[in-house]
Structure 1
Amino acid sequence: MKLQLALLEKAALENRLAHLLLFHGGSKVHQREVALRLAQILNCHNSTSEGPCNVCPTCRKILSGNHPEVSWLKAQKAVIGIEQVLLWQERLYLKHYEGDYKISIVEQADLLTLPAANSLLKVIEEPPERTLIILCAENAEGILPTIQSRAQLVFFPNLSEEKWVSSLGEVNDLEAAQAFRLSGKNHNLATEIVQYGVQQIKDWLEKFRTAVEERNFLKLFPLFPIDKNQALLYLQVMAVQAEEGIKNNTIRPLELLEIGKAIDVLRQQANPRLVIEVLALELFQQGGVRSD
Structure 2
Amino acid sequence: MNLQLALLEKAAREGRLAHLLLFHGGSALHQREVALRLAQILNCDLPTPEGPCLSCSACRKIFSGNHPDVLWLKPLKTTLGIEQVLAWQEKVSLRHYEGNYKISVIEHADALTLPAANALLKIIEEPPERTVIILCAENAEGILPTIQSRAQLVYFPDLSEETWLERLGEVDRQEAAQAFSLSGRNQNLATAILEHGVSLLQEWIRKFRIAVEEEDFLKLFSLFPIDKNQAVLYLQVMAVKAQDGIQKGTVHPFELLAIGKASDVLRQQVNPRLVIEVLALELFQQGGALCD
Fold-level similarity (TM above 0.5): yes
Unaligned runs of 5+ in 1: none
**Partner amino acid for 1:158?**
D
1:246 aligns with 2:228: no
Task: Please list, as runs of the form range in 1=range in 2, the aligned pairs for 1:79-118 lying within 5 A after superposition.
Answer: 79-118=79-118
Asked if 2 retains the 8 angstrom alpha-carbon contact of 1:242 and 1:256, the reply is yes
SS in 2 for 1:105: strand
In the TM superposition, 1:136-175 aligns within 5 A as 136-175=136-175
Letter in 2 for 1:111: A
Q: Secondary structure at the match of 2:66?
A: coil
Q: Are 1:129 and 2:129 counterparts?
A: yes
> Shift in Å at residue 281 of structure 1?
1.1
- Counterpart position of 1:264: 264
| Partners of 1:151 and 1:105 in 2: CA distance | 14
Paired residue secondary structure (1:134): strand
What is the aligned-residue identity percentage?
A: 74
Q: Distance in 2 between matches of 1:211 and 1:222?
A: 10
**1: CA distance, partners of 2:161 / 2:234:** 22
Partners of 1:233 and 1:6 lie apart in 2 by 34
Aligned residues: 292
Aligned-partner residue type, residue 201 of structure 2: I
User: Displacement of 1:48 after TM fit?
Assistant: 2.4
Tell me the C-alpha RMSD between the 2 structures: 1.0
1:26 touches 1:156 (CA, 8 Å); kept in 2?
yes
Letter in 1 for 2:17: L
Matches of 2:45 and 2:76, distance apart in 1 = 35
Residue matched to 1:232:
232
Amino acid at match of 1:232: V
Equivalent runs, 1:1-292 vs 2, <5 Å = 2-292=2-292
Query: What is the letter of the counterpart of residue 40 of structure 1?
Result: Q
User: Structure 2: which 5+ residue stretches go unaligned?
Assistant: none
For each residue in 1:247-272, what CA deviation from the matched residue of structure 2 results, as whole angstroms up to 9, or x when unmatched?
Answer: 11111222111111111221222111
Looking at structure 1, the residues matched to 190 and 84 of structure 2 have their Cα atoms a distance apart, in angstroms, of 26
How far apart are residue 31 of structure 1 and its match? Answer: 0.3
**How far apart are 1:45 and its partner, in Å?**
2.5
**Moved beyond 4 Å, runs of 4+:** none
Q: Tell me the CA shift for residue 290 of structure 1.
A: 2.6
With structure 1 as the length reference, what TM-score do the two structures score?
Answer: 0.98
Alignment partners' CA distance in 1, 2:238 and 2:10: 43
Partner Cα distance (2:15, 2:166) in 1: 32
8 Å CA contact retained: 1:21, 1:135: yes
Q: Secondary structure at the match of 1:215?
A: coil
2:255–2:290 CA contact under 8 A, matched in 1: no
TM-score (norm 2): 0.98
What secondary structure is seen at the aligned counterpart in 2 of 1:104? Answer: strand
C-alpha distance in 2 between matches for 1:263 and 1:91: 34
Contact 1:101 1:131 (C-alpha < 8 Å) held by counterparts: yes
Could you tell me which amino acid in structure 2 is paired with residue 42 of structure 1?
L
CA-CA distance at 1:178 after TM superposition? 0.7
